[in-house]
Structure 1
Amino acid sequence: MKRFIFGIVILGIALSLFKACGGTSGFEVDDEDEPEEILPTEPVAPDGILETVTWNTEWYGNEGNGPDDEFQQTKNIVRVLDSLDADLYAMQEIFSQEAFNEIVEPMTGYKGFTADFINKGQKMAFLYNTNTIDSLEAGEISLAEVRETYRDEWEYYWANGRPPLFFRFDYHTPNSEQTEFFAVVIHAKANYGDYQESYKRRQMAAEGLYYYLLDEHPNANIILMGDYNDDVDESIYYEEQNGEEVYQETPYDEFTEDTQHFRIVTKVLSENKHTASINYMDKGDLIDHITMSDELFNLYIDDSATIYEAPLDYIPDFESSTSDHLPVWAKFDMAQ
């Protein structure tokens, strides 16, 4: 018995010395516990095409909501962004700047920021290619800047205290020409709870934003992106009338009707019953949209507004591992 115990002690000492010396000869190393890394992406060079993307990343960085494996979600998001190679990403449902940094860090040549004026965990954010974009200014479209009609309940209209985030920047072409843009990302009130009240809040928010852009930025190159939480051909909200479901007009009707100043480039996707919401593929409603001002009408690349569906093929269980939304993008030819 003493010999057996002595042998165990000697073996324990030998293994301790082996580990201390870093030896591996004759032993298999189990590296399953080694932390997995997200490799840096390749930088994206200027090509004269401003590629813009809006994407709701479903509770990114918020433990207890969205995909369970946060590292896998980060890895998948970076893979999708790297596949798109866009210049400007408008993102929604980012929990914090700290969480967003996990996405930004491996994106070589990119910088990103969240709407730090939002206290709750569904912030909007911008990610941009520093090889093509120089940041000039960013911040909140506050109630002090909108028409008096909308000031009292401006944050209420936008839900969860998340008024729009703007980003003013210069875009550089390969021949060093530059154009200033005023981009806005929104995340409107979801169709949740009191549906009629939610619809009215989206109406008032969109109307207030429409007049703000006309009043404060009449000549700007405006790109308005985000999760509109409603469609733009007709609303996803309906009322019962004589036993029938009657869908109401889009809450973004100011933008759709003012064709002199604005064009929702993704509206054609709505009209063709496409959607980027994975849970509602059969309904054909698109709530992720991109709008441009008239200054960009001649620069927009026809038919470039697209839902990026490829990740459904190369990322397993995309909905449960990554997001319940697909990216939507549009392109502008700045080399004309």
Structure 2
Amino acid sequence: MKRHPRLVALVCAHAALHTLSCAAPYEEEGEPIDLAAEAVLGPAEGTASSLDIASWNIEWFGDTSNGPSDETLQLQNARDVISGADMDIWGVAEIVSTAQFNSLKSQLPGYSGFLANDAAVTGGSGSYSATEQKVGILYKSSVATLQSAKVILTASDYDFAGRPPLEVKLSVTLGGVTDSVVVIVLHAKATSDNASWQRRQNASNALKSYLDTSYPTGKVFVVGDWNDDVDTSITPMKPSPYQNFVSDSLGYTFVTKALTDAGISSTTGYPDLIDHHLVTNDLNASYVSGSVKVYPADSFIPSYGTTTSDHFPVFSRYTWSGGGGGGSAQVILNEICANEPGSNTAGEFIEIVNVGGTSASIGGWTLSDATGVRHTFAAGTTLAAGKAIAVFGGASAIPAGLANAVACSSGTLGLGNGSEQVCLKDGGGGVKDCFTYTNALSGTDGVSMNRSPDGGPNGTFVLHNAVGAGSSSAGKRASGAAW
């Protein structure tokens, strides 16, 4: 009777992890062991009711000159970790070989994904070469579908060590509820010298400015290898280069800071936590308390640090109710018609939609442009969950029978046909949503700009005729159906 040493070790480690007794596996006389069928995977962490997020730097994955020397074993171990953990979305870093990544993906039934240099990624091939370390994403196709992907912050390429972040917009469906999320995967500059710290801080400032401007509301995850901690820096006598995010507690939360505070490391040989999950405040309320963890893959993979990676996976989980996160109200700008049909400016309109789970009291809320406030919603105005209201430049342009529309309180919206910013603010002046458009979206007479997907809080604005029927759909879905 022959025993396979790796299988024995995996079984024993897995049993120890669950405080079970461990007996050596065996085979019937003449019956060969099927390693693919009998390989022991790690403990599952994902759940059917939560959105489960993972990040992992898989050290020099697929590079035959660096990192683990046995590429076949590294791939097998990576497959076992990802399959066993059962997480919904993985942001991965330090992937060198596209072929090796595709081989990994092919051994993960139910997962789709790509690297930053993939043809599906806008700007990716110009930012990442075939031999560079790349960031990428894997996601369960039963949970998420791809909306768009692009490489961002390329102007800060040097500060990101030649690895600008990958931004992926996904439509997520759980429990019959669909909503959009943004996943940004990054791999920051490494090492603890002062120059590297400065580059990390520069990159952090660029990232925060981008997020503040692009996603003042919405569900955004930023995950990956940040190569520094969030309490103090790994660089001696320096603050965390990510203090700008830590200080903005109303806008962002490092859910991984709990691990930092507990003194937990995310690598095999370094004392600090340098792999993090940052979320916007629209997600923080949905965070499953206590779910963040460093996954102990070395508990079931022998010689993990030399065969697999010098980083451990990091996990966090989130409740899922769509729209406003946790069932709360969330009102967004959904459609803007700046270039009215003909020359009657009364035909300009702004449509807002409550994509959250509860009614929103919007009395006293305002719509404004760069000039100032153009409309103030009347006291007592409410917007039910899943409903829309359109504000027109003048009452004469409101289509007959359109009940969920009002005329602008100032008498005009005054939207420019060039570059303009439209903001929705609450009664206290707090920004609920803002969007800056250019002539590319406002230069066609009578054609509005609309979020794609329609009603998606993280959707990109496109010309209406690219997302729905006709040139506009004030107070209605892009398809023309009622909200």
**Runs of at least 4 residues off by over 4 Å:** 35-41
| Greater CA drift, 202-211 or 133-142 | 133-142
1:236 maps onto 2:251 in alignment = no
Partner of 1:302: 289
1:287 maps onto 2:274 in alignment = yes
- Please state whether the residue corresponding to 2:206 is helix, strand or coil: helix
Give 1:107-126 correspondences, 5 Å limit: 107-116=108-117, 117=124, 118-119=128-129, 120-126=131-137
CA distance in 1, matches of 2:38, 2:148: 30
Letter aligned with residue 205 of structure 1: A
CA distance in 2, matches of 1:86, 1:96: 23
CA distance in 1, matches of 2:269, 2:46: 35
CA distance in 1, matches of 2:184, 2:60: 20
- By how many angstroms is 1:327 displaced? 0.4
- By how many angstroms is 1:184 displaced? 0.3
1:91 maps onto 2:92 in alignment = yes
- By how many angstroms is 1:251 displaced? 0.2
Give 1:153-168 correspondences, 5 Å limit: 154-159=156-161, 161-168=162-169
CA distance in 1, matches of 2:205, 2:85: 32
CA distance in 1, matches of 2:183, 2:46: 21
- By how many angstroms is 1:36 displaced? 7.5
1:201 maps onto 2:185 in alignment = no
CA distance in 2, matches of 1:289, 1:228: 6
- Please state whether the residue corresponding to 2:112 is helix, strand or coil: strand
Partner of 1:322: 308
Whether contact under 8 Å (1:46, 1:132) holds in the other structure is: no
CA distance in 1, matches of 2:52, 2:204: 24
CA distance in 2, matches of 1:276, 1:225: 13
- By how many angstroms is 1:48 displaced? 2.5
- By how many angstroms is 1:133 displaced? 0.6
CA distance in 2, matches of 1:234, 1:99: 36
- By how many angstroms is 1:268 displaced? 1.3
Letter aligned with residue 129 of structure 1: K
Whether contact under 8 Å (1:96, 1:114) holds in the other structure is: no
1:333 maps onto 2:323 in alignment = no
- Please state whether the residue corresponding to 2:76 is helix, strand or coil: helix
Q: Deviations over 1:231-259 (max 9, x none)?
A: 00110001xxxxxxxx3110001110000
5+ residue gaps, structure 1: 1-28, 144-150, 239-246
- By how many angstroms is 1:287 displaced? 0.2
CA distance in 2, matches of 1:298, 1:79: 32
- By how many angstroms is 1:39 displaced? 8.8
Partner of 2:424: none
CA distance in 1, matches of 2:46, 2:313: 21
5+ residue gaps, structure 2: 1-29, 118-123, 327-483
TM-score by length of 1: 0.79
Letter aligned with residue 127 of structure 1: L
Partner of 2:425: none
CA distance in 1, matches of 2:228, 2:112: 29
Change (3 A) 1:198 1:38: farther
Partner of 1:189: 189
Which structure would you say has the larger RCO, counting Cα contacts within 8 Å and 6 or more residues apart? 1
CA distance in 1, matches of 2:55, 2:37: 22
Whether contact under 8 Å (1:265, 1:291) holds in the other structure is: yes
CA distance in 1, matches of 2:288, 2:46: 19
Letter aligned with residue 240 of structure 2: T
- By how many angstroms is 1:45 displaced? 9.9
Give the superposed CA RMSD.
2.4
Whether contact under 8 Å (2:46, 2:86) holds in the other structure is: no
Aligned length: 280
CA distance in 2, matches of 1:51, 1:189: 26
Change (3 A) 1:259 1:170: same
CA distance in 1, matches of 2:209, 2:37: 43
Whether contact under 8 Å (1:45, 1:131) holds in the other structure is: no
- Please state whether the residue corresponding to 1:213 is helix, strand or coil: helix
1:225 to 198, 223, 226: 223
CA distance in 1, matches of 2:116, 2:177: 29
Q: Deviations over 1:6-34 (max 9, x none)?
A: xxxxxxxxxxxxxxxxxxxxxxx9x99xx
Partner of 1:265: 255
Partner of 1:249: 239
TM-score by length of 2: 0.55
- By how many angstroms is 1:102 displaced? 1.3
- By how many angstroms is 1:272 displaced? 1.3
Whether contact under 8 Å (2:171, 2:178) holds in the other structure is: yes
CA distance in 2, matches of 1:36, 1:299: 39
Q: Deviations over 1:95-138 (max 9, x none)?
A: 13222111100111101100102124210010000010111111
- By how many angstroms is 1:38 displaced? 8.1
Whether contact under 8 Å (2:46, 2:85) holds in the other structure is: no
Change (3 A) 1:314 1:295: same
% identical aligned pairs: 32
Q: Deviations over 1:35-59 (max 9, x none)?
A: 9768999xx9982310000100000
Give 1:3-14 correspondences, 5 Å limit: none
Change (3 A) 1:90 1:328: same
